Amino acid sequence: MKWIKFRIKTVTEAEDIIVSALYDIGLEGAQIEDKLPLTALEKEQMFVDIAPEGPQDDGIAYLSFFVEERDGEAMENGCPVLILNGEETTAEAVLESVKRELEDVRCFMDIGEGTVSVEETEDIDWINNWKQYFHQFTIGDVLIIPSWEEAGPEDKDKMILHIDPGTAFGTGMHDTTQLCIKALRKFITPETELLDVGTGSGILAILSLMFGAKKAVGTDLDPCAVDAVRENMEANGIDPKDFTMMIGNIITEKEIQDKVGYERYDIVVANILAQVLVELTSVIVHQLKKGGIYITSGIIDDKEETVISAVRAAGLEVLEVNHQGEWVSIIARKNHQAGV
C-alpha cells in the first residue's frame, strides 16, 4: 500500500482551523509538526521517563495528511487512483480542494505561506513501525524482550520480562527506568507492598512482583495504561489479584489518594519528571509506611538538588543518589517523624 502525503506549511495559530476545514473534505488524522512549548496541562499529564526539550518556537507549523493510493490502478489520464471518503479521486483533485479550503481560511485569518507539497510515501504501518527500534536487552540478570523476539539458549539463567509497550509507554531502555529497576532489585522483599506512580506499561510494578513483592498498585493519568498493563501482566503470568491499576492524579485527587491508601506501602517508586516529583513528594509521604522506601527517577542532573530539597522538606531521609548517563535516581526513607 502506498500513500500520497499532502504537507501544508502554515502558522501555529492556524493549525486547528485548517485541520477542521480539511476534515470537512475528508482529510483526517493530521500529523502536526511545530515547536510550541508544552502547556501546563501537558506537563502535568506527562508521567513519563523524560519531558522532550524542543527548539525555540518560531511560529511555523507543518500539517501532513495522508490519502491511500490504490495499487496498480490509474485514471484515464494516467494519474494514480486515490481513495478519499470511499470514492476514487486523484492527487491533483485533492490538491485543488486543499488549496480552495486554505484560501477560504486565509480570508479571515493569517495562515502564513499556506503552501502545499505533495509526495508519495511507501507503505506505513502506523501501529507497528516503531518495533524496528525495540529489541531485547538486559539489565543485570533481567532480560527484557518483546513478543516478536525469542530468548536464546544463552539466556536460560536470566529472569525474562516480556514487554510490549505499544506506542504510548516506555520499554525499560531509558536510563531513568534502569535506575529504578536496579533500586527495586535491591530493596524488594517477599513482604513488599509497592506503589508505582505513573506506571505506564506497568514495567516497574510487574518486575517488582517478579522480584518477589507481595502486592503492587499502579496509578497513571492515561486510560491507555489500563490495556497496556493488562496485556503485559498476561504476557508475564502475573495474577490480576496481585496488581491493582487506578487511573487518576494522585497529587490533586483526594479520591485517588483514599483509594490508594495511607501508610500502606513499603516502597513507592516514581519514574516521572522532576517538577512533578517536587509536587508528588509532599503527598506520597502519607502513602508510605514508617520506614518505607521512596525511589525516584526521571531527574535530569541539573534538577538533582531541587528534588533532594523536596524530599528532605517532606521529612524523608536521603539514602542514596545514583547516576546513569545524565540522569539521577534519589532513594529516600520515611522515618517516624516524616509526614506528621
Question: Same domain, yes or no, for 92 and 219?
Answer: no
Q: How many domains does the chain have?
A: 2
CATH at 79: 3.30.70
Looking at the structure, do residues 112 and 178 belong to the same domain, yes or no? no
Is residue 100 helix, strand or coil?
helix
Q: What is the SS3 assignment for 229?
A: helix
Mean pLDDT, 10 residues at a time, over the chain (340 residues)?
Answer: 89 90 83 72 47 67 88 66 86 94 92 93 60 73 82 86 64 80 96 95 94 96 86 93 95 96 97 89 96 93 93 96 92 76
Per the structure block, which three cell numbers stand in for 81?
487512483
Residue 330 contacts residue 296 (beta carbons within 8 Å) = yes
pLDDT of 47: 44
User: Could you tell me if residue 136 is inside a domain?
Assistant: no
pTM attached to this predicted model: 0.66
Q: Which residue has the cell 515547536?
A: 35
Task: Say yes or no: 114 and 177 in one domain.
Answer: no
Is the Cβ–Cβ distance between 293 and 332 less than 8 Å? yes
> Count of CB atoms within 10 A of residue 70's CB?
13
Q: What amino acid is encoded at 189 in this protein?
A: T
Q: What pLDDT score does 206 carry?
A: 95
The Cα–Cα gap between 268 and 314 comes to 14
340 found inside a domain:
no
- Whether residues 29 and 106 share a domain: the answer is yes
Residue type, 187: F
The pLDDT of residue 54 is 54
Question: For 122-136, b where at least 16 C-beta lie within 10 A, e where not — what string?
Answer: eeeeeeeeebeebeb
Domain match, 43 and 176 both = no
User: Residue 58 falls within a domain, yes or no?
Assistant: yes
Residue ending a domain, among 86, 121, 156, is 121
Q: Which of 102, 128, 101 is nearest to 113 (CA)?
A: 102
Annotated binding site: 177, 198, 220, 271
Does residue 221 belong to any structural domain of this protein? yes
Order of strands across the sheet with 159-162?
A: 137-139, 142-145, 159-162
The pLDDT assigned to 37 comes to 67
Residue 300's contacts (CB-CB under 8 Å, 6 or more residues apart) are: 50, 274, 326, 327, 328
Residues 310 and 192 in one domain: yes
179 & 114 share domain: no
Task: Give the model's pLDDT for residue 45.
Answer: 45
Do 212 and 308 have their domain in common? yes
Domain housing 232: 171-334
Q: Which residues of 209-221 are buried (b: 16+ CB within 10 A; e: fewer)?
A: bbbebebbbbbbb
203 and 295 part of one domain: yes
- Residue 309, domain CATH: 3.40.50.150
Q: Other C-beta atoms within 10 Å of 272: how many? A: 24
Indicate the angle between helix axes 91-106 and 15-23, nearest 10 degrees: 130
Please give the annotated binding residues for S-adenosyl-L-methionine, written as ranges: 177, 198, 220, 271
Q: Are residues 182 and 300 in the same domain?
A: yes
Q: State how far the Cα of 115 lies from the Cα of 101, in Å rounded to an integer.
A: 12
Same domain, residue pair 117 and 175: no
Tens of pLDDT, residues 257-304? 999 999 999 999 999 888 889 999 999 999 999 999 999 998 888 899
How many other CB atoms are found less than 10 A from the CB of residue 336? 9
Give the Å distances, CA to CA, from 237 to 160, 209, 243: 11, 10, 12
Residue 56 lies in a domain: yes
Q: What is the predicted pLDDT for the residue at 165?
A: 55
Residues 35, 110 within the same domain: yes
- Cβ neighbour number for residue 204 with a 10 Å cutoff: 28
